[in-house]
Chain A
């Protein structure tokens, strides 16, 4: 069973708007990560947030983590057409930091 699940499954926005994706997970974690995948390519790491952190920024990306609700959100501000991709959250399996489990992803389309 998958540890993390993203919501929504698909999102279509206009260039310049903000995009928010959510991730929920089931068990306790050590950290949560977000990855981007362009069509036909490998995944690229975006940001890692540890269980004792509540918010983290990287450029136009903002990630929040609420361990009490077992959820995280990824906000992309001022989106660009180049942000069109699938976005995945990944969590360690709680009892094992060696297994990184991915959700099924959010497909983001940014219309020019």
Chain B
């Protein structure tokens, strides 16, 4: 049972480039979410989804795009990367009782 899998683990981008962070879960959870974590700070919610075809914005959605075509996958797209998006990104899925299960993170640097 893999849980939540994120790829890539590390990525370096140049300003203006686009990329997609992949997230997959095998627990059949309806709810999935993306957070970013910056040094010394907690996690900030970017986008979340309560099921296939349904997404909504979190605290810091600007510059990011999501879609949810299947229960398993919830990719996060950076449309035009900026240095302010340098961060560690975490994907999480949620059990019906409320607990989140996190991936190991994707470390993104934008030059």
Q: Which residues from chain A sit less than 8 Å from chain B, CB to CB?
A: 2, 4, 31, 33, 35, 40-45, 48, 88, 90, 92, 97-105
A42 to B35, CA, bound (A): 11
Q: Out of B41, B48, B58, name the residue touching A104 (CB < 8 Å).
A: B41
Q: Out of B4, B44, B99, B104, name the residue touching A48 (CB < 8 Å).
A: B99
Query: A46 CB to closest chain B CB, in angstroms?
Result: 9
A44 to B99, CA, bound (A): 9
Q: Would you call A41 and B98 a contact (CB within 8 A)?
A: no
- Contact residues on B (Cβ < 8 Å of other chain), bracket: 20 to 34
Query: A96 CB to closest chain B CB, in angstroms?
Result: 9
Q: Which residues from chain B sit less than 8 Å from chain A, CB to CB?
A: 4, 31, 33, 35, 40-45, 48, 50, 56, 58-59, 90, 92, 94, 97-105
Q: Inside 8 A of B58's CB, which chain A residues have their CB?
A: 99
Q: Would you call A48 and B97 a contact (CB within 8 A)?
A: yes
A2 to B44, CA, bound (A): 8
A41-B105, A43-B43, A88-B42 given as contacts; is B99 within 8 A of A102 (CB)? no
A42-B104, A104-B42 given as contacts; is B31 within 8 A of A98 (CB)? yes
Q: Would you call A45 and B99 a contact (CB within 8 A)?
A: yes
Q: 8 nearest interchain CB pairs?
A: A42-B102, A102-B42, A102-B43, A104-B42, A45-B99, A43-B102, A42-B104, A103-B42
Q: Would you call A43 and B90 a contact (CB within 8 A)?
A: yes
Q: Would you call A100 and B45 a contact (CB within 8 A)?
A: yes
Q: Inside 8 A of B48's CB, which chain A residues have their CB?
A: 98-99
Q: Would you call B43 and A42 a contact (CB within 8 A)?
A: no
Q: Inside 8 A of B44's CB, which chain A residues have their CB?
A: 102
Q: Would you call A2 and B42 a contact (CB within 8 A)?
A: yes
Q: Would you call A104 and B40 a contact (CB within 8 A)?
A: yes
Q: Would you call B100 and A45 a contact (CB within 8 A)?
A: yes
Q: A33-B100, A43-B92 are in contact. List 13 more A-B contacts (CB 8 A).
A: A33-B98, A35-B100, A42-B103, A43-B100, A44-B102, A48-B98, A90-B100, A99-B45, A99-B48, A102-B35, A102-B43, A102-B44, A104-B41
